[in-house]
Amino acid sequence: MPNPEHLVPPAVAISGGEPAAAPLPMQWPVTAVRGVGSERAKLLAKLDIHTVEDLLLHKPRRYEDRRKFLPIRDLKLKEAATVRGKIVAAGVKRWKRGERAMFECVFDDGTARLHCRWWQAQPWMEDWYAVNREFLVYGKPDSLKPRNIDHPETELVEPGEDEFIHVNRIVPVHALTDGLTARVVRTLVWQALEQFEAQVPEPAWGHLPAVGSALSPTPGKTPARDLPFLTGLPTRANAVHMVHFPEELTDVEIGRQRLALDEFTALQIQIQSRRKKFEVNARALPCGGDNRLMKPFLAALGFKLTGAQTSVLREIRADLGGEHPMRRLLQGDVGSGKTAVAACSALMALEGGFNVALMAPTEILAEQHFRNFQKWFTPLGINLALQTGSQKTENAAPTGADKAGTLYIGTHALLTGGFELPQLGLVIIDEQHKFGVTQREALVRKGNYPHLLVMTATPIPRTLGLTLYGDLDVSVIDELPAGRGSIKTFVRTTEKLPKVFEFIREKITAGRQAYIVYPRVDVADTDKDIKAVTKEFETVKKALAPFQAGLLHGRIKPAEKELVMAAFRANKIQALVATSLIEVGVDVPNATVMLIENAEHFGLAQLHQLRGRIGRGAHESFCILISDALTDEAQARLKILADTTDGFKIAEADLKLRGPGELLGQRQSGSMRLRFGNLAEDLNLIRQARVLAAKILA
Ligand code: ADP
Ligand code: MG
């Protein structure tokens, strides 16, 4: 599996020190902890715990305040709580002979009784939950008459020394696996702290508070989770202790932040040193340009660049004429006009006598770019070559007398081993989030330190931007071209579909076009509740006849895809029935309706991209999300989309709801293993880590 180098987890780095002959205690196998034999080591390995450090950094899932238990009498319906009681009755209940059996026991703490049930009785239960044994019981009562909790978490109270670890304090409840109870894991962590806490080293870059001013919070912008800087940071050893056995619950967050800061700092050091190394080694190719192609291009373009486009181009021009090769991320919401910026950047490099490569994630998008650039560039005497999986190097002969270089456009087929990109001055990657860092670097390596411009419409929350793209400079197009119609978004249930199709007919009759999107290609791929495009195509055709509908999905042959797209562009097809294949880049300004069925099956960022296909012309546009999903999460997500068209807000909300997986796109998320850092919340810590990393490297 490709593993982008700068995302390698910092697990080792934070153990500090030069590589020594003998491994540090932190790297010792977990069997060094008393109480861990080969059997337990095997179980711990299932939790990805292999070393002493892994165990010490095993993050608790939650905490229980066992300094005070709730009297059973005071249990409230559906409110999780811990009680402490003695078993007064227990036994197996069987409905019929040989049928499923249930185990039930009754706890009493002197204030009231609590019934607990396990729906699958296990053979060991009768011995374990024996009358007179005392247990801690954690769970949510599902009834109060009688008081009952099904499948509670329980822990045996053993009188004696253990009292200190498991009760009379705030205790951690860790992630568990079969065969390892909360009590066992807690004991092992406790033991590991006893043996090794004093040997938890500060990171190789030294004790953090010594860096001082780097850690002052941003004035006026201090979120609740921020560190109490005035009292200083705990040492790493203290922080590890605090996250497992805090004195007060507030300690947990302080310890977590310290450990998260270490993780982010290690990550930033990797990112920044990579960039440094690159700057030392690489001399920039002179691609600043002289406007000889740019001038006629802008004159023929048909619109004036927006202020945001212009200022981004100023930054890019400075880079292209600068000392070090450009490494720039261009972020701009869907429809903000990144393609025109890419074209201008390409012209600068072409003016300098260099060739340019532009890589897009799908054939449809590569072909669309090819057509646009052909229209723009061929009159200027620039060569164009297309390289996709199905179409190789279709050359458009230059018409101008003064031949300028070549613009290569393609998919990842550009990366093919034998395919040469001579005199490469600039690499442009469109919809970067669809590629891995490895692919980006593979294209760059086809040249001799060419300039790099990566573009993405997926608005990346600042936290992720600084982490994932920390080695890139960032430009933002924060303004849409004027004269765009607004987009209205509605969430509806399938019941309303007939009305929705009536509405689409109206719009088509008025001359507009529509996209209709389904999550799946084929019914065979899916359960019956998720609609598939091949099946629904027939329904849509009937519903919209005599207007024409076209079908587009990943399993259609490229040549046919191209025909369908061409027909849609020419308005010979009024409705394009498709999968999320059309999510990136497709630009048909006359299309003003986006209908998405089973909307709950798409990520928020993806829905936002899909919606970005409309609202590209002057007409008012409509996005209709169909979903029968009833869960709070699904409803909340769709509501965010209905409430805002601001891509950054959507991305941030998505990050909070679903974690970084979707935003990072394929693969990249898996390799970013943060134990304590939270990419959705820790913007301040990430900022501090950047400053720290810069100081450390200086
Ligand atoms: P994206 O940033 O999503 O890639 P595109 O580059 O596809 O956006 O641009 C969206 C549409 O806006 C295209 O039709 C493009 O021609 C048009 N466009 C780009 N810049 C401007 C501008 N400055 N004024 C008017 N229209 C523009
Ligand atoms: Mg685009």
Q: What is the helix (H) or strand (E) element at residue 636, kind and residue range?
A: helix 632-643
Q: Could you tell me the distance, in angstroms and rounded to a whole number, from the CA of residue 358 to the centre of ligand 2? A: 12
Mutate to test the pocket of ligand 1, among 297, 303, 430 (most ligand atoms within 8 A of CB): 303
Same domain as 520, residue 472 = no
Q: Is residue 174 lining ligand 1, measured as CB closer than 6 Å?
A: no
What span, in angstroms and rounded, lies between the C-alpha atoms of 432 and 279?
22
**Residues linked to residue 440 through DSSP beta bridges, in sequence order:** none
* Burial (CB count <10 Å: 0-12, 13-18, 19+), residue 462: middle
Q: Is residue 481 lining ligand 1, measured as CB closer than 6 Å?
A: yes
Q: Is residue 586 lining ligand 1, measured as CB closer than 6 Å?
A: no
Closest residue (by CA) to atom 24 of ligand 1? 481
Query: What pLDDT does 2 receive?
Result: 36
Closest residue (by CA) to atom 19 of ligand 1? 337
Same domain as 635, residue 571 = yes
Task: Flag the least confident range among 162-171, 227-236, 358-367, 570-579.
Answer: 227-236
pLDDT band at 60 (very low <50, low <70, confident <90, very high): very high
Which is more confident, 275 or 194? Answer: 194
Does the pLDDT value for residue 369 go beyond 60?
yes
Strands (E) in 531-675, as ranges, are: 549-552, 575-578, 591-596, 621-626
Residue-wise pLDDT for 408-444, tens only, equals 999 999 988 778 888 999 999 998 877 877 888 888 8
Q: Is residue 432 lining ligand 1, measured as CB closer than 6 Å?
A: no
What span, in angstroms and rounded, lies between the C-alpha atoms of 105 and 128?
11
Q: Could you tell me the distance, in angstroms and rounded to a whole number, from the CA of residue 364 to the centre of ligand 2? A: 12
Strands (E) in 111-222, as ranges, are: 113-118, 134-139, 143-144, 147-150, 153-156, 170-174
Which is more confident, 340 or 403? Answer: 340
Q: Residue 327 carries which side chain, given as an amino acid letter? A: R
Are 179 and 43 in contact, with CB atoms under 8 Å apart?
Answer: yes
Which is more confident, 205 or 326? Answer: 326
Highest mean pLDDT among 159-173, 303-317, 405-419: 303-317
**Ligand 1 nearest atom to the CA of residue 304, by list position:** 23
**CB neighbours of residue 143 within 10 Å:** 12
Query: What pLDDT does 673 receive?
Result: 67
What lies within 8 Å, CB to CB, of 276 at 6+ separation is 697
Are 174 and 61 in contact, with CB atoms under 8 Å apart?
Answer: yes
Of all residues in the chain, what percent are helix, strand and coil, respectively (each to 5)? 40, 20, 40
Q: Is residue 306 lining ligand 1, measured as CB closer than 6 Å?
A: yes
Same domain as 492, residue 465 = no
Same domain as 559, residue 453 = no
What lies within 8 Å, CB to CB, of 506 at 6+ separation is none
Closest residue (by CA) to atom 18 of ligand 1? 337
Query: What pLDDT does 514 receive?
Result: 97
Query: What pLDDT does 523 receive?
Result: 77
Query: What pLDDT does 191 receive?
Result: 95
52 lies in a domain?
A: yes
Q: In this structure, what CATH number is given to the domain that contains residue 154?
A: 2.40.50.140
Q: Is residue 457 lining ligand 1, measured as CB closer than 6 Å?
A: yes
Same domain as 643, residue 523 = yes
Indicate whether this model's pTM tops 0.85: no
pLDDT (average), residues 474-483: 86
524 lies in a domain?
A: yes
Owning domain of residue 87: 68-168
pLDDT band at 269 (very low <50, low <70, confident <90, very high): confident
Q: Is residue 589 lining ligand 1, measured as CB closer than 6 Å?
A: yes
Are 626 and 493 in contact, with CB atoms under 8 Å apart?
Answer: yes
Same domain as 498, residue 374 = no
Query: What pLDDT does 663 receive?
Result: 52
Which is more confident, 210 or 358? Answer: 358
Return the HEC string of 19-53.
Answer: CCCCCCHHHCEHHHCCCCCHHHHHHHHHCCCCEHH
Q: Could you tell me the distance, in angstroms and rounded to a whole number, from the CA of residue 403 to the centre of ligand 1? A: 27
pLDDT (average), residues 586-590: 90
Task: Flag the least confident range among 32-46, 503-517, 538-552, 639-653.
Answer: 639-653
What lies within 8 Å, CB to CB, of 539 at 6+ separation is none
Mutate to test the pocket of ligand 1, among 298, 301, 313, 336 (most ligand atoms within 8 A of CB): 336
Closest residue (by CA) to atom 4 of ligand 1? 338
Same domain as 190, residue 103 = no
212 lies in a domain?
A: no
Query: What pLDDT does 605 receive?
Result: 81
Ligand closest to Cα of 335 equals: 1
Average confidence score pLDDT of the chain? 84
Residue-wise pLDDT for 682-694, tens only, equals 888 888 888 888 8
Q: Could you tell me the distance, in angstroms and rounded to a whole number, from the CA of residue 271 to the centre of ligand 2? A: 27
Same domain as 127, residue 195 = no
What span, in angstroms and rounded, lies between the C-alpha atoms of 139 and 131?
20
What span, in angstroms and rounded, lies between the C-alpha atoms of 75 and 140?
9
pLDDT band at 39 (very low <50, low <70, confident <90, very high): very high
Displacement of CA 54 from its chain's centroid (Å): 24
Residues present in the chain in total: 698
Q: Is residue 303 lining ligand 1, measured as CB closer than 6 Å?
A: yes
Closest residue (by CA) to atom 1 of ligand 1? 335
pLDDT band at 681 (very low <50, low <70, confident <90, very high): confident
Q: In this structure, what CATH number is given to the domain that contains residue 512?
A: 3.40.50.300
Closest CA to 535 of 547, 548, 545, 525: 525
Does the pLDDT value for residue 139 go beyond 70?
yes
Does the pLDDT value for residue 107 go beyond 70?
yes
Same domain as 546, residue 439 = no
Q: Could you tell me the distance, in angstroms and rounded to a whole number, from the CA of residue 587 to the centre of ligand 2? A: 8
Query: What pLDDT does 464 receive?
Result: 74
Query: What pLDDT does 220 receive?
Result: 35
pLDDT band at 445 (very low <50, low <70, confident <90, very high): confident
Dihedral (CA of 302, 308, 311, 312) sign: negative
**Ligand 1 nearest atom to the CA of residue 587, by list position:** 7
Q: Are strands 404-410 and 355-359 parallel, antiparallel or unpaired?
A: parallel
Alpha carbon dihedral 60, 65, 67, 69, in 10-degree steps, equals -130
Residue-wise pLDDT for 617-671, tens only, equals 889 999 999 999 878 888 888 999 999 988 888 888 877 776 665 555 443 443 4
472 lies in a domain?
A: yes
pLDDT (average), residues 207-216: 37
174 lies in a domain?
A: no
What span, in angstroms and rounded, lies between the C-alpha atoms of 90 and 107?
9
Query: What pLDDT does 307 receive?
Result: 95
Query: What pLDDT does 68 receive?
Result: 81
331 lies in a domain?
A: yes
482 lies in a domain?
A: no
Query: What pLDDT does 659 receive?
Result: 67
Q: In this structure, what CATH number is given to the domain that contains residue 38?
A: 1.10.150
Same domain as 594, residue 637 = yes
Tell which of 435, 451, 477 closes a domain: 477
Query: What pLDDT does 510 receive?
Result: 96
Query: What pLDDT does 400 receive?
Result: 38
pLDDT (average), residues 381-394: 82
Closest residue (by CA) to atom 9 of ligand 1? 337
Structure-token pair, residue 601 = 């099956």
Which is more confident, 315 or 123? Answer: 315
Cis peptide before 146 (omega within 30 of 0): yes
Ligand closest to Cα of 331 equals: 1
Residues above pLDDT 70, as percent of the chain: 87
Dihedral (CA of 491, 494, 495, 500) sign: positive
Q: Is residue 479 lining ligand 1, measured as CB closer than 6 Å?
A: no
Residue-wise pLDDT for 236-254, tens only, equals 999 999 999 999 999 999 9
Q: What angle, rounded to 10 degrees, do the helices at 182-196 and 236-244 form?
A: 160
Closest CA to 182 of 58, 45, 30: 58
Query: What pLDDT does 209 receive?
Result: 40
* Count of the separate structural domains present in the chain: 4
Ligand closest to Cα of 306 equals: 1
Mutate to test the pocket of ligand 1, among 306, 587, 619 (most ligand atoms within 8 A of CB): 587
459 lies in a domain?
A: yes
What span, in angstroms and rounded, lies between the C-alpha atoms of 492 and 49?
46
Q: Could you tell me the distance, in angstroms and rounded to a whole number, from the CA of residue 562 to the centre of ligand 1? A: 21
Same domain as 562, residue 454 = no
Ligand closest to Cα of 365 equals: 2
Are 363 and 390 in contact, with CB atoms under 8 Å apart?
Answer: yes
Query: What pLDDT does 537 receive?
Result: 95
* Burial (CB count <10 Å: 0-12, 13-18, 19+), residue 277: exposed
Tally: H helices and E strands in the chain? 22, 22
